[in-house]
Amino acid sequence: MTTRTPLLEPAFLRQLDRLSLVTKRVMAGELQGERRSPRRGASVEFADFRHYTSGDDIRQVDWKLYARMERIFLKLFVAEDELNFHLLIDTSASMNWGEPLKLYHAKQLAAAFGYLALTNLDRVSVSACATTARSPQLPGVRGKRGAVPLFSFLQQLAPGGSADLTQFCRRYIQTARMPGPLLLCSDLLDPHWKEALEALTRRPFDVTVLHILAPQELRPLLDGDFRLMDSESGPAVEVSADADLLQRYAAHLRNWQGEIENFCHGHRMSYLQIDTAIPVEEFVLGYMRRRGLVR
């Protein structure tokens, strides 16, 4: 019986225990968690005062302030709500490529982000963009004990086929019960990527796009004649690689990434370029901390 290599090393998990995700929008959840909400509630962190009105809970009256001002004020505290984190992973055949493998890197990123959310008592759901009408899903898990089913589900995700990313995103926003932070892990090698991302804007999700590409796509080392085949649709193209072709490829790649980034910013999405050659630990603990995305 073989033992699977863990997605995240124990030492990295211990470092994640001391961090939390920073979200652009704060959304009220259903259960009390450990994240600030704009609502006033009953945590231990003081927020403000307001005048007493008939029917208010007199246990929240600040009697010391009343003794000084002879007016009745209520103490207000920061409400702490859980958020619903949504992890969407592209498992189409194009993700099953590269060294390091794009899909495995996506699983690691989803595991790291999901674990950060679980340590803050937020709820985490995972859904895979597959060729089947019914995508593999992990319903919401919560708390650190949710890490075991989260990691197990991610480990079992298998690639294959040509998935319709647009249809998947449209279906997901229609069925997701509670909006919240949403992380899409994809190489976006879909001619209709704009329609897919635009679908995610039709409900108030806080969307982050992790654009995952392998170093062989970012910095191809090719020389001579090759026959390239599309891993999803099948057509092949004959290529004669030389310095001029690689320069034009690099320029086209930069333009494409810039177009995606501009599209995301125009639709209030966060966009992060992922090179699978950079270890997940370095990306989260280095780049994301410097950008203020985790703290």
Q: What is the CATH number of the domain that holds 101?
A: 3.40.50.410
Q: Are residues 97 and 214 in the same domain?
A: yes
Domain-embedded: residue 40: yes
Give the structural domain span for 135. Answer: 10-23+83-290
216, 99: one domain? yes
Q: Which segments in the chain show pLDDT lower than 50?
A: 1-2, 26-44, 78-79
Half-sphere exposure of 71 (CA within 13 A, CB side): 7
What's the pLDDT at 33? 44
Q: Are residues 72 and 173 in the same domain?
A: no
Q: Which residues contact 135 (CB under 8 A, 6 or more apart)?
A: 127, 128, 129, 168, 171, 172
Q: Could you give phi then psi for residue 89, rounded to 5 degrees?
A: -125, 125
Same domain assignment for residues 135 and 224: yes
Tokens of 42: 């009953």
Domain count, the chain: 2
- What pTM, to 2 d.p., does this model score? 0.80
pLDDT value of residue 50: 67
Same domain membership, residue 200 and residue 64: no
Q: Is residue 184 part of a domain?
A: yes
Whether residue 101 sits in one domain with residue 49 = no
The residue type found at 267 is: H
Whose tokens are 């002879």? That residue is 70
- Output the pLDDT for position 42: 46
Tell me what pLDDT residue 135 has.
Answer: 76
Of 81, 99, 115, the residue that ends a domain is 81
Q: Are residues 204 and 276 in the same domain?
A: yes
pLDDT at 48: 60
The whole-number pLDDT of residue 59 equals 76
Asked whether residue 4 is domain-assigned, the answer is no
Could you tell me if residue 3 is inside a domain?
no
